[in-house]
Amino acid sequence: MSDIVEATARTAQGTVRGAVERGVAVFRGIPYAAPPVGARRFRAPEPPEPWEGVREAVTYGPTAPKRPYAPPLDRLLPDPEVPGDGWLNLNVWTPSTEAAGLPVLVWIHGGSLLHGSSAVPVYDGSAFARDGVVLVSVNYRLGIEGFGLFPDAPANRGLLDQLAALEWVRDNIAGFGGDPDRVTVAGESAGAVSVAALLATDRAAGLFRRAVLQSGAPAALDPEAARGTTGLIAKRLGVPATAAALAAVDPAALLTAQTEVTSGGNPLTGRNAFQLVVDGELLSRDPAEALRTGAASGVDLLMGTNAEEYRLWFVPGGLIERIGRLKLRLALLKFKVPNATARVYRANRPGATPGELLGALATDLLLRVPLNRLADARTGAEGSTYVYEFGWPSPVQGLGACHALELGFVFDTLAHPDTRALTGPDAPQELADAMHRAWVDFATTGEPGWPSWDASRPVEHFGPDGPALVLAPRDDELRGWDPYRAKP
Which one of the listed residues 145, 188, 308, 309 is annotated catalytic? Answer: 309
Q: Are the C-beta atoms of 216 and 196 separated by less than 8 Å?
A: yes
Among the listed residues 113, 95, 103, 131, the one whose alpha carbon sits nearest the alpha carbon of residue 410: 131
Among the listed residues 110, 126, 125, the one whose alpha carbon sits nearest the alpha carbon of residue 77: 110
Which one of the listed residues 115, 403, 436, 461 is annotated catalytic? Answer: 403
Give catalytic status of residue 189 as yes or no. Answer: yes
Is 245 in a helix, a strand, or coil? helix
Q: Are the C-beta atoms of 104 and 133 separated by less than 8 Å?
A: yes
449-453: long-range contacts, CB 8 A cutoff, minimum separation 24: 450/386, 452/384, 452/385, 452/386, 453/375, 453/376, 453/378, 453/379, 453/384, 453/385, 453/386, 453/387
Give catalytic status of residue 115 as yes or no. Answer: no
Cα–Cα dist 26/4, whole Å: 12
CB burial class (10 A; 0-12, 13-18, 19+) of residue 187? buried
Cis status, amide bond into 483, omega within 30 of 0 = yes
| Residue 428: Cβ within 10 Å count | 16
CA distances (Å), origin 79, targets 76, 264, 365, 398, 400: 10, 18, 28, 22, 21
Strands (DSSP E) found in 249-401: 300-306, 385-390
Give catalytic status of residue 456 as yes or no. Answer: no
Which one of the listed residues 117, 189, 194, 394 is annotated catalytic? Answer: 189
| Catalytic (active-site) positions | 189, 309, 403
